[in-house]
Chain A
Amino acid sequence: MYIDRLERYWIYAVAGTLGVFSAALLASVFIFGVTLPSPVGRVDPMQLDSTEFATPGLRSMGDNQYTLHVVAKMWQFDLGQAKGKPAEIHIPKGAEVTFVVTSKDVTHGFYIEHHDMNMMLLPGQIAREKATFKKPGTYHIICHEYCGSGHQNMIATIIVDA
């Protein structure tokens, strides 16, 4: 098949650019350690009470490290807050938090504003990711997947104390 000379150069240029993109991607994963949610375990959404999700909330693991168990349900994040209290937790500056999250009912999302934390929450699947909060301030956890009529209310707050 006849291919024009200029067109051939264009093809090389495109292939080169996409090669660079792929390399940048590998670098971000292997050098900068960006991670994605990946399979870490499963849990029966109908039996959460007999699992680690029976008592959601913050647990200190020492050395300014924490795990936060969260159960997403229509239409709130359960961070272990008392009934009728806002979904809100305080953590100290510099805390490294491992989020361990699942859904009790339908598909939800777990997105932390101004922080690269973005997970889908599916009933049956456990999602786990780490984040470090260096700057004091208020961070919103937002459900970013449509989960029914109260979806827009599904917001929780992390307050990083100074």
Chain B
Amino acid sequence: MQVASPLPQRQPSSLAFPKLAMLMEERTLVGAHVLTGMLALLLGSLMGPFQTFRRSPFVKEAFPDLQIPFFSFYYQALTIHGVMNALFFTTFFIVGFTYFITQRSLERPLWNRTLAWVSYAMMFVGLALVLFAIGSGQASVLYTFYPSLVAHPTFYIGLVLLVVGSWLVGANVFMTYAAWRKEHPGERVPLAVFAAIANFIMWIVATFGVAVEVLFMLLPLSLGWLKTTDPQMGRVLFWFFGHPLVYFWLIPAYISWYTMLPKQVGSKLFSDGLARVAFLMLVIFSVPVGVHHLFSDPGVSSVMKGIHTVFTFVVAVPSFLTAFNIGATLERAGRQRGARRALDWLWHQDFGNPVVAAQLAGMILFIAGGFSGIIQASLTLNIALHNTSWVPGHFHMTLAGAVTLTYIGIAYWIVPLIRNRALWSKKVALAQIYTWLVGMLIFGHGMGAAGIAGVPRRTDLSNAPYVNPDAAFFLNTSAISGVILLISLVLLLVNLVGTLFFSKEPVTEGAPVDTVGPAGSPLWLERWGLWVGIILVLAAVAWLPVVADALGTFASPGYTPFVPNPLK
């Protein structure tokens, strides 16, 4: 039976914006961002398996001279790994994906295409400068670049270009939305764009912290304009940014799970309203939690550590909401595929479709990683785990697992659209996804167990005078996962190259993008000014006391990673 919808439905203007064939301009812009991101991922991740080898006692005995490709210095390779994966891959990919959904959902071009290319150029120059700085051995400071270690100025200039470029992206997206809003008063913006806007609001607030750190502390120190710096203040400013950063990565994955996966599995999202609430909670509560990265810092008061822990539990709520919402959506899909008994729907899923399988595999890793996250956020347990290899174990299941696999799933439909050719091989894609899943599970377990045994992270164990013998087994299983993940990376590379250069088939599937928001969800959810206000108030309450505590510490000169004497 047909039920009249309460609001007149707008007809998608499919002629102006064809579904399958992307406009050439759109393809180049989205393609440039997505492919630059994938290149950064491949380059950065290639170091990962070799890091696991260098950390394995077995490998040390069998191949004592093993080096990481391109690098002989462990920490230089680890800097490439962290910076390329965590900062450049994510940012480029997110921008490309955000441009895609904004244009497609709102059925209009970006507010200003020239600006979009200007911001791309800035970010790309940033990438080149950072690669130069690390590659030439002058920036082996890891992706957190804590003072008072100092890198070459090009490293910081590159990061500034990345961040400022991404601010311009945010402005472009906001203006596109504002133009749409003017023409569509009273309509609900599609969920994907709702979340993308929320994400860039959070990003701009959060990057403020790191921008202050780089522009006013590190860059002047590295140029010699300042003689000293304050490491505690540096860490405070960095982690003001560092936690929202992880949600900046996660939200695009949630966008895919909430708005695309339902269509990809032939189901319907269980609740659009609660999805919006979840996104808003993520964005609002991601800021007053960053001190949970500073539990072991002597310059931060215990009271603030406690307050940030409680907010950390609050920011877990939207992920639980997501688990329910997506779970219910998948149950519906499973029942349609013939699941009968209570939990049957869990395995009646479309595990043979790479785009779906990548996201489901990501979710499996996210469940494991999410629980390990709640454990380490409990400040008293954190004492046992902070800076041990438990921590990389955790975020390779969330960031390198759930987020990266979902992005790879997106790449498996968006790269074909960009190229206007079908994915080169579904089989290779499936093999890539399942090796990644298995690899990351073994990796996460091995690193987690080694961390509990007391193995530090960010440490070149192959050159260490002592490695806890209890951890040898787990360091070796991590190295096995390194082999599996190396295979997975090669499969990913082969499929991307195949799709770009050798695929002959035409694309058959379009992008699953909504062009209208559901009439039922409350309009007050789109009062952005209110949300920005709340974020700023929370940020002030949660961070001003921490900043005040750190103020007035004695100054410390800068050091390079190689010489134990202060820079002149």
> Measuring CB to CB, which residues of chain A are less than 8 angstroms from any residue of chain B?
1-4, 6-7, 10-11, 14-15, 18, 21-22, 24-25, 28-29, 34-40, 42-46, 73-75, 105-107, 109, 111, 113-114, 116-128, 140, 142-149, 151-153, 155
- Chosen A-B contacts, 12 in total, with CB atoms closer than 8 Å, are A11-B320, A42-B553, A106-B146, A106-B149, A114-B454, A118-B296, A125-B553, A127-B298, A145-B146, A146-B459, A149-B562, A152-B463
Whether the Cβ atoms of A126 and B384 lie closer than 8 Å is: no
A106 to B378, CA, bound (A): 27
The distance from the CB of A51 to the nearest CB of chain B, in whole angstroms, is 11
Whether the Cβ atoms of B554 and A43 lie closer than 8 Å is: yes
Besides A3-B273, A36-B302, 20 other CB < 8 A contacts? A1-B277, A7-B271, A11-B320, A11-B321, A18-B317, A35-B302, A36-B379, A37-B296, A45-B556, A119-B296, A120-B296, A123-B554, A124-B555, A144-B456, A146-B458, A148-B149, A148-B559, A149-B561, A151-B458, A155-B465
Contacts of A3 in B (CB 8 A): 271, 273-274
A145 to B388, CA, bound (A): 9
Contacts of A37 in B (CB 8 A): 296-298
A142 to B454, CA, bound (A): 9
The distance from the CB of A8 to the nearest CB of chain B, in whole angstroms, is 10
Whether the Cβ atoms of A7 and B566 lie closer than 8 Å is: no
A124 to B550, CA, bound (A): 10
Query: Which of B270, B294, B320, B556 has the most CB atoms of chain A within a 10 A radius of its CB?
Result: B556
Contacts of A18 in B (CB 8 A): 313-314, 316-317
A144 to B385, CA, bound (A): 11
A2 to B554, CA, bound (A): 55
Contact of A142 among B456, B553, B564, B566 (CB under 8 A): B456
Output the nearest chain B residue to A15 by Cβ-Cβ distance: B317
Output the nearest chain B residue to A112 by Cβ-Cβ distance: B454
Query: Which of A25, A124, A126, A128 has the most CB atoms of chain B within a 10 A radius of its CB?
Result: A124
A119 to B274, CA, bound (A): 40
Contacts of A15 in B (CB 8 A): 317
Q: What total of chain B residues lie within 8 Å of the partner, measured CB to CB?
A: 76
Whether the Cβ atoms of B270 and A111 lie closer than 8 Å is: no
Whether the Cβ atoms of B557 and A46 lie closer than 8 Å is: yes
Contact of A125 among B75, B232, B383, B461 (CB under 8 A): B232
- B 59-104 contacts with A by CB, 8 A: 73, 75
A103 to B463, CA, bound (A): 23
Query: Which of B383, B457, B553, B554 has the most CB atoms of chain A within a 10 A radius of its CB?
Result: B383
Whether the Cβ atoms of B298 and A123 lie closer than 8 Å is: no
Contact of B273 among A1, A34, A122, A146 (CB under 8 A): A1
Interface flags for B449-469 (1: CB within 8 Å of A; 0: not) read: 000001011111101111010
Whether the Cβ atoms of A124 and B75 lie closer than 8 Å is: no
A45 to B559, CA, bound (A): 13
Output the nearest chain A residue to B462 by Cβ-Cβ distance: A152
Contacts of B306 in A (CB 8 A): 29
